[in-house]
Amino acid sequence: MAVSRISLINYLGIAAGAIITAAGLDLFLIPNKIAAGGVSGLATVIHYVAHIPVGVTMLALNIPLFLFSVKELGVRFGLNTLFGAVVLSVSIDVIARYAPVITQDIFLSTLYGGVVCGLGMGIVFKYHGTTAGTDLAAKLIHKFTGISVGQALLGVDFFVIALAGIIFNSFELAMYALISLFVTSKVIDLVQEGRSDTKAFFIISNKPAEVAKAIMHDMERGVTFLQGRGGYTETSRDVLFCVVTSAELSTLKKIIHATDAGAFVIVADTTEVLGEGFGRYASSP
């Protein structure tokens, strides 16, 4: 019963993400001829050349690609991928009938199209789905040529963007498409990983025990002792590792300085922190 409930939530999340992605394409990118890579970009080019609806073209490209991928790579993506691809394709053509062109400013369309599409795709990925497209093509290229998936994906997207620039006779549109692709990828990462409000501290001190005790007593934060060795002196010593919120950043700096003013401190951004005192683990599908 729990599995069925999680599956339903995943499908609802994939559908919501696909619809948001379709809205980003229809409201910003497609009307302004911004073909930001992928199957959607190729479908946009075909739309302006052959006047075929973008969703229909995407479905025509995605389903054979999906079936061939299942045959060559195995059932790795399952129904989630097919479901996401169908919902996205149908949503694009449905929304296109009613969606107004919000702006004809190319830069605004590039920026907001990238943000909205990134938000939608991030939600799709977060709920364990994909919308087929160039990620499957990249995996097939990797299988038959040995080229890494990342390089193959970059190559396919670059080809689509370059083709759009040639067909539309505008290298400016191609450059805007690259910007949109970059924005989309960054927003996808933000949605999947979240915006972490935490910092990681690595502390190398001549008074590790005192510093650790002060942190645990004054801030009630855990401290981990890591084993380190100086590269020049070859002397073994403890390295303290501690994670705090951004609001506690100044407090921890003051504690370290007050305990050992000569301590060497590295402060690093964290993507996500899970566990006691921080975030919770999400339920697995």
- What is the DSSP annotation of 243-264? EEEGGGHHHHHHHHHHH-TT-E
- pLDDT of res. 145: 81
- 3-state SS assignment for residue 75: coil
The burial class, CB within 10 Å (0-12 / 13-18 / 19+), for 136 is buried
Backbone angles phi, psi at 98, to 5 degrees: -115, -15
Closest CA to 221 of 197, 243, 191: 243
Q: What percent of the chain lies above the pLDDT cut of 90?
A: 53
Q: What is the pTM of this model?
A: 0.74
The burial class, CB within 10 Å (0-12 / 13-18 / 19+), for 121 is buried
Average pLDDT over residues 129-143: 74
* One-letter amino acid of 70: V
The per-residue pLDDT for range 64-113, each reduced to its tens digit, is 877 776 776 666 556 778 888 899 999 999 999 998 888 989 999 999 99
β-bridge mates for residue 191, sequence order: none
Residue 142 has pLDDT above 90, yes or no: no
Q: Which residues contact 121 (CB under 8 A, 6 or more apart)?
A: 17, 21, 131, 184, 188
Residue 3 has pLDDT above 60, yes or no: no
Distance linking the first and last C-alpha atoms of the chain: 12
Backbone angles phi, psi at 130, to 5 degrees: -140, 175
- 3-state SS assignment for residue 198: strand
Q: All domains of the chain, ordered by start, with CATH?
A: 2-193 (no CATH), 198-269 (3.30.70.120)
- pLDDT of res. 149: 59
Average pLDDT over residues 191-206: 84
- pLDDT of res. 24: 96
Mean pLDDT of the chain: 86
Q: Which residues contact 263 (CB under 8 A, 6 or more apart)?
A: 203, 204, 205, 206, 207, 211, 256, 257
Q: Which residues contact 60 (CB under 8 A, 6 or more apart)?
A: none
Q: Count CA atoms within 13 Å of residue 134 on its CB side.
A: 22
Average pLDDT over residues 2-23: 84
